[in-house]
Structure 1
Amino acid sequence: MSQPGFFDLDNRYESISKLGDPLEVLDQAIPWETFRPVLSKALRKFKKSNAGCKPYDSVFMFKVLVLQSLNNLSDDKTEFMIKDRLSFMRFLGLDFEDKVPDAKTLWLFRDTLTNKNAIDKLFRRFNRYLDRAGLFARQGQLIDASIVPAPVQRNTREENTNIKQGEVPEEWQKQPHKLQQKDTDARWVKKNGRSHYGYKNHVNADRKHKLIRTYVVTDASVHDSRAFDSLLDSSNTGKQVFADSAYRSKAINSTLKEQGLKNEIHHKGYRGMPLTEAKQRVNHKRSKVRATVEHIFGFQQNSLGGKFIRTIGILRARTKIGLMNLAYNMKRYVFLTKNKPINATE
């Protein structure tokens, strides 16, 4: 079988485009260069190897991370898929003869961004671009949290007790390699009668555009309401704040009043004090609005390859979850601006 030539490859790309390549649409819609200043600052001392090899372009590597997040791939699987799929290659601007970053290089690049807290800065930079594109946060805030599963740790009871007390088990301290494979930050939580292990993705989405405006990452055991104050978005033009009954408290109500916001949090029933029919009707009405934020988590689960993360520790979890939220916003941006001219200046 003869090797494909330039025109053969060009015809194949044309065929993929006609079938509808979502990566091609995304690549054309996202202003990738807007991320370069943040990346350059975070990667000033980043090198691919100690041998002095020329590092990959920072925006190129960032696009690899986005591609990975869009499909929830491991580092090894990401390397394989880039080599295997024409649509991945075109998204990254690669030709057959170009070198593909290996899994170790990708891990090192992402870890460098993690240590510089760069993902949150990249997320906020894209949100500023959304504002310039006219997609301001409008019509109120939708707040909710979703559990993000992590690999379950097989620890002894004594080890788990040490972890809960914020201590590192003595045996692990003697074995650094074992400690590197142990997640001392993830926690168990019970929800709807089922136990879950991992982290939580707390988000605030605007009602108008269904874009994530702020997010907070915690371990799974943290109550949803504890992230509430950090999630509030003062830039939203709407005054209403929607959330489920887990967020209803006197403290949160006071916070909303102080900031001039309208409390649209679900009413909560108590033992011996069930909700009145009037409050049930109010909750039902609010549920129709609040369901939007559930759709965000559903999209991440069903369209971004699932929410499961493979990293160890909350710092890396924040990076992976932050990238997942950014990938969602990018996809949402493409949907919102489809067939619409956008003029967003830097």
Structure 2
Amino acid sequence: MVDRVLGQLSLADGFAASDETIFDLIAKELDWAPIRTLLGHRSGPGSGNTSYPAEPLVRCLLLGVWHGLSDPALEAQIRDRLSFRRFAGFSLSDRTPDHSTLWRFREELTRERLIDKIFEEINRQLEAKSLIVKRGTLVDATFLQARGRPPKQPKKGHHGPIKPSSDKDARWGKKGKKSTFGYKMHIGADQAHTIIRRVEVSDASLTDTEPADQLICGDEKAAYGDQAYYTHARHDRLAEANIKDRLMRRANKHHPELPPRQKLRNRLIAKVRAAVERPFAVFKEHYGMRLVRFFNLATNRTQCMLAACAYNLRTMIGALFPPAERRA
């Protein structure tokens, strides 16, 4: 069994050409050959039905993230839209994947952690284009609400078992007075273009500070974060690695009031670290990630990694081809 051969253009494809889109720019700027090598062949030896190659399926999933589409909606759009077909590598005569194929491929990325290799390869290419400057890393986290309802609270006097949530990996988390049942996405973004360099996904109960060390790459000149990230131990680790500590300080029982100098320092740091909110805004406003799509941590993690890849590729085009130049 061999992978299908796709993208063989016919005369009809030439007549159906449409205007160049931002996705065409991404397809041209990214070298897909290393990603093809990382993913390998999906078809095993022997006879049988041919499988879709991994690269077009990755491109399909990216299109789904950029447009906030479910798998059935993505199936329909790939079949009907010329720009989607062109980016994914399908000619007008190619049969496109259905939603179950897309689902199974996402599970492959999850099971074998291939999504991590794709993310690392994309970032390697972005660094080669000098888009990752390493002047500073901005760390932050955001809640993602679970799709499943939280466990049903027992009524007064109830003695039976509590009805569990359909999402067994989700947990309650709290920020201020607001509680969220679901997950938390933690990122470390490069200061220059907010390109995401590190991603951790946990249930919502994990505090921001616990995965923070994994978000700091070690090759940046400074680490920026809000008050949740500062600890004496982390300050010492940053100093040992020769990374400037730009984590905001907070009052405690021994020092209930910050001195004016620390307040000023916090305000200056806040202006820099505020840029890390941009990826989260894109995820929730444009990628439909206010509510996670799946009912387990592993698959939701894959979707978050795909979103980070999608965000970084769009950011690449924004940096290399500013909108004014694209209109010219």
How does the TM-score come out when normalised to structure 1? 0.80
Q: In terms of mean alpha carbon deviation, does 200-209 or 320-329 score higher?
A: 200-209
CA RMSD, Structure 1 to Structure 2 (Å)? 2.7
Counterparts in 2 of 1:150 and 1:156: CA distance versus 1, 3 Å:
closer
Counterparts in 2 of 1:224 and 1:46: CA distance versus 1, 3 Å:
farther
Partners of 2:13 and 2:92 within 8 A in 1: no
Cα distance, 1:275 vs structure 2: 2.4
| Structure-2 separation of matches of 1:182 and 1:33 | 40
Q: What letter is aligned with 1:195? A: S
Q: What letter is aligned with 1:212? A: I
Q: What letter is aligned with 2:17? A: Y
2:291 is aligned, of 275, 299, 308, to 308
Residue aligning to 1:319: 302
Cα distance, 1:328 vs structure 2: 0.6
SS at match of 1:225: coil
Residue 85 of structure 2 corresponds to residue 101 of structure 1? no
Residue 17 of structure 2 corresponds to residue 13 of structure 1? yes
Residue aligning to 2:40: 40
| Structure-2 separation of matches of 1:276 and 1:191 | 25
Q: What letter is aligned with 1:298? A: A
| Structure-1 separation of matches of 2:297 and 2:145 | 12
Cα distance, 1:278 vs structure 2: 2.2
Counterparts in 2 of 1:170 and 1:115: CA distance versus 1, 3 Å:
farther
1:34-86 CA distance string (max 9 Å, x none):
21122117x46599xxx921001111111111111112221111101112322
2:166 is aligned, of 177, 182, 188, to 182
Counterparts in 2 of 1:222 and 1:313: CA distance versus 1, 3 Å:
same
| Structure-2 separation of matches of 1:35 and 1:68 | 19
Instruction: Report sequence identity in percent.
Output: 30
Residue aligning to 2:27: 27
Counterparts in 2 of 1:203 and 1:184: CA distance versus 1, 3 Å:
same
Cα distance, 1:9 vs structure 2: 6.6
- Consecutive unaligned residues of structure 1, counting only runs of 5 or more, are 1-5, 159-168, 173-180, 340-346
Partners of 2:251 and 2:257 within 8 A in 1: yes
Partners of 1:72 and 1:307 within 8 A in 2: no
Counterparts in 2 of 1:307 and 1:119: CA distance versus 1, 3 Å:
farther
Counterparts in 2 of 1:286 and 1:46: CA distance versus 1, 3 Å:
farther
SS at match of 1:222: coil
Residue aligning to 1:116: 112
1:200-247 CA distance string (max 9 Å, x none):
1111111123211111111111000001111111232x2x11100001
| Structure-2 separation of matches of 1:196 and 1:171 | 18
Cα distance, 1:270 vs structure 2: 3.8
Partners of 1:189 and 1:196 within 8 A in 2: yes
Residue correspondence of structure 1 range 233-244 to structure 2 within 5 A:
233-236=217-220, 238=221, 240-244=222-226
Residue 116 of structure 2 corresponds to residue 134 of structure 1? no
SS at match of 1:143: strand
1:215 is aligned, of 187, 194, 199, to 199
Partners of 1:189 and 1:221 within 8 A in 2: yes
SS at match of 1:197: strand
Q: What letter is aligned with 1:37? A: T
Partners of 2:144 and 2:183 within 8 A in 1: yes
Count of aligned pairs: 306
Q: What letter is aligned with 1:73? A: L
Residue aligning to 1:275: 258
Cα distance, 1:104 vs structure 2: 0.7
Q: What letter is aligned with 1:315? A: A
| Structure-1 separation of matches of 2:117 and 2:111 | 12
1:102-125 CA distance string (max 9 Å, x none):
111111111011110111111111
Residue aligning to 1:249: 231
Residue 75 of structure 2 corresponds to residue 79 of structure 1? yes
Residue 50 of structure 2 corresponds to residue 54 of structure 1? yes
| Structure-2 separation of matches of 1:227 and 1:45 | 38
Counterparts in 2 of 1:288 and 1:74: CA distance versus 1, 3 Å:
same
Q: What letter is aligned with 1:30? A: L
Counterparts in 2 of 1:310 and 1:46: CA distance versus 1, 3 Å:
farther
Q: What letter is aligned with 1:93? A: G
1:114-168 CA distance string (max 9 Å, x none):
110111111111111222223344211111111122203353458xxxxxxxxxx
Q: In terms of mean alpha carbon deviation, does 76-85 or 267-276 score higher?
A: 267-276
Cα distance, 1:199 vs structure 2: 1.3
Q: Greater helix percent: which structure?
A: 1
Counterparts in 2 of 1:136 and 1:171: CA distance versus 1, 3 Å:
closer
Partners of 2:13 and 2:91 within 8 A in 1: no
Q: In terms of mean alpha carbon deviation, does 142-151 or 303-312 score higher?
A: 303-312
Residue aligning to 1:335: 318
Q: What letter is aligned with 1:273? A: P
2:178 is aligned, of 171, 194, 202, to 194
Partners of 1:137 and 1:235 within 8 A in 2: no
SS at match of 1:198: strand
2:145 is aligned, of 145, 149, 154, to 149
